[in-house]
Structure 1
Amino acid sequence: MNRTLSPLVTWRWLLALLTVLPLLASATEPLPSWKDGPSKKAITQFVAAVTEEGSKDYVAPAERIAVFDNDGTLWSEQPMYFQVLFAFDEAKRLAPEHPEWKTTQPFKALLEGDKETLAASGMEGLMKILAATHTGISTEEFSARAEAWLAKAKHPKSGKPFTEMVFQPMLELLDYLRANGFKTYIVSGGEVAFMRTFAEEVYGIPPEQVIGTTFVTELQDQDGKLSILRQPKLLHNDDGPGKPVSIDQVIGRRPILAFGNSDGDLQMLQWTAAGDGKRFMGLVHHTDAQREWAYDRESKVGKLDKALVAAKQGNWTVVDMAKEWQRVYPFEAPQP
């Protein structure tokens, strides 16, 4: 017996289909928060080339190493590097235990909100604050303090937790690469123990694949209780030329893909580009003043000048955040 669907049933079926189809498309489409454009095309073509067996560009899974800067590449870095904001908050929290800071710079300027004097103290002043808040304690104690801060601190502009100020397109890129046999590493100027407190949960990158700036440490034995004590002396500055050095020491393989966003990533990108075979070098260009920030050559945080020139000369991929990302953060709706 022939049966026909009523108009109401037909309408409901069509409505359900229209609802499901976008979900199916997003489930199969790689990098859904990336607009169809030059950067997405370059990424997918590169991954296809190095993962297709029999291809002249094929790379064995063991050699599919991808390295990413953190600040400004995987999460925002304005109005100041998030770890510096942590150090400032820690110094204020610890101030009652250090009455001498009331008369000692740069702590005096920090506690009094004297931004000009604090800025004038430069890198030397910042290192004093970092040493006071990051060392003299065990690795376990430092990690606990960092986790406590990340659990309650809010970004000054968005009001969101700092761990939500991550870039949705880059999270998708990390997943996409791992699904295609890549091993993903963070190689950042940030301090390694600080990044390890959130990298696995936020990025899916385990602690052993997080490389960063390190302080001198030593084994401490207090009545049979062992711990790793953090000393107020810098062991390795993982920025600029320090990045290829740490990649060589820790990973032992040259990456075939590298992503950064500033001149501090230039040597890491150059080191990647200098290898044999097909390579991918990418820069996140902060061009979106509405959803994030717009800055490059004149910025005091995440300055992008020499690396931008090198990218154009080397035909690297420069991601225009405003034009190529449907959304920036996981908590925002994608653009139409």
Structure 2
Amino acid sequence: MSSDLLPSWNDGPAKSVILDFVARVTTGGEPDYVPPSERIATFDNDGTLWCEQPMQVQVFFLIDRVKQLAAKDASMSTRQPFRALLDHDIKALHAQGKQGLMELAFAAHAGMTEEEFDEIARTWFASARHPKFGRLFTQLIYQPQVELLAYLRANGFKTFIVSGGGIDLIRAFAEGAYGIPREQVIGSSARLHYELQGGRPVLMKAAELNSFDDREVKPANIGLHIGRRPILAFGNSDGDLAMLRYTKSGQGARLALLVHHDDAQREVAYDREFKLSPLAEALDRATDYGITVVSMKNDWKTVFPET
């Protein structure tokens, strides 16, 4: 295999494992051959496909959304946890936990149609920038992963996002950023209600959590929405461990990968201390579980795309 297949990956064990796996499952007549219909690859989003520090992009979007709402309802700025959002109180936000923040997000997004939310999200992505890197959030996707997604699709894989982030927010940018269409995004979701507006059927977002797509819920939602066990899965935290182990436990050739954020110079170095999405068990027991750890520092030539 040519080393140019994944040009933003350094030559080494991680890249070799990926290239070897894809070659084995796509070569007809070989023992590990997998038909195209079964070549399912699932990727976490936050921290796996784009930057999630110092908080997930979902939280930055929520902060700006609450600012808009507080401008219309001043009392919101005095109530917790909205006050913590507006004050950028990282400690208080971390205390909410990932599910708490998702429930807060859905409360702030309620009372609009799916189409209205999509327009708000697309408008926000067009101008919102990361506070540290000064780039659009959509420019903080990981170039090596974009290449990997394209490489897998070129070899007959169907690529899915399986994320703890809000499904509607991810759908607003995933196709343009990753080449993954809306219908191949699985994420945390609010309940939707069907109603008529001026005789037109619409789906309204409710202030109720429908599914928090993290940890053991990820494999359950894969079964519900995809109906096939993946043969490749990529994550970056303990929230992805159930998905990685579910993938590895199937019959035949399987590959589970884990991004380790160990590059403080080009991004952020962190793992078990990130309260919203820690990496501990998955890192400590990667060898036991047959998971390939990908070092951002050593395995990636570059992190973000060139602007």
Choose the corresponding residue for 2:67, options 92, 95, 98: 92
TM-superposed CA distance for 1:117, in Å, is 4.9
Q: CA offsets per residue over residues 292-329 of structure 1, 9 Å max, x none? A: 01111222243110111231212321001101111001
TM-superposed CA distance for 1:106, in Å, is 1.9
Matched, 1:33 2:33: no
Using the alignment, how far apart are the partners of 1:97 and 1:253 within structure 2? Answer: 46
The change in CA–CA distance for 1:74 and 1:114 in structure 2 (over 3 A counts) is: closer
Q: CA offsets per residue over residues 106-158 of structure 1, 9 Å max, x none? A: 22343345555555555686356313322221111111111111111100111
Unaligned runs of 5+ in 1: 1-24
Using the alignment, how far apart are the partners of 1:265 and 1:114 within structure 2? Answer: 27
Using the alignment, how far apart are the partners of 1:192 and 1:155 within structure 2? Answer: 21
Amino acid in structure 1 at the alignment position of 2:205: R
The change in CA–CA distance for 1:238 and 1:110 in structure 2 (over 3 A counts) is: closer
The change in CA–CA distance for 1:177 and 1:117 in structure 2 (over 3 A counts) is: closer
Using the alignment, how far apart are the partners of 1:266 and 1:121 within structure 2? Answer: 22
Amino acid in structure 1 at the alignment position of 2:22: V
Choose the corresponding residue for 2:54, options 79, 82, 95: 79
Amino acid in structure 1 at the alignment position of 2:270: Y
Q: CA offsets per residue over residues 261-288 of structure 1, 9 Å max, x none? A: 0000000001001100010000011010
Q: Report % sequence identity.
A: 52
Choose the corresponding residue for 1:244, options 206, 219, 236: 219
Amino acid in structure 1 at the alignment position of 2:69: L
Using the alignment, how far apart are the partners of 2:31 and 2:92 within structure 1? Answer: 58
Choose the corresponding residue for 2:296, options 311, 318, 321: 321
Q: Which secondary structure state, in structure 2, belongs to the residue aligned with residue 79 of structure 1? A: coil
**Counterpart in the other structure of 1:213:** 188
Using the alignment, how far apart are the partners of 1:125 and 1:64 within structure 2? Answer: 34
Using the alignment, how far apart are the partners of 1:141 and 1:265 within structure 2? Answer: 30
Amino acid in structure 2 at the alignment position of 1:277: G
Q: Which secondary structure state, in structure 1, belongs to the residue aligned with residue 230 of structure 2? A: coil
Q: CA offsets per residue over residues 217-275 of structure 1, 9 Å max, x none? A: 01110220221100111111110001000000000000000000000000000100110
**Counterpart in the other structure of 1:284:** 259
Stretch deviating more after TM superposition (307-316 or 33-42): 307-316
Stretch deviating more after TM superposition (197-206 or 299-308): 299-308
Q: Which secondary structure state, in structure 2, belongs to the residue aligned with residue 208 of structure 1? A: helix
User: Contact 2:257 / 2:292 at 8 angstroms: preserved in 1?
Assistant: yes
CA RMSD of aligned residues (A): 1.9
User: Displaced runs of 4+ in structure 1, greater than 4 A?
Assistant: 112-125
TM alignment of 1:121-270, pairs within 5 A? 126-127=101-102, 129-270=104-245
The change in CA–CA distance for 1:238 and 1:122 in structure 2 (over 3 A counts) is: closer
Stretch deviating more after TM superposition (110-119 or 244-253): 110-119
The change in CA–CA distance for 1:120 and 1:305 in structure 2 (over 3 A counts) is: closer
TM-score normalised according to structure 1 size: 0.87
Counting matched residue pairs gives 307
Q: Return the index of the structure with the highest Cα Rg.
A: 1
Using the alignment, how far apart are the partners of 1:253 and 1:121 within structure 2? Answer: 33
TM-superposed CA distance for 1:290, in Å, is 0.2
The change in CA–CA distance for 1:124 and 1:323 in structure 2 (over 3 A counts) is: closer
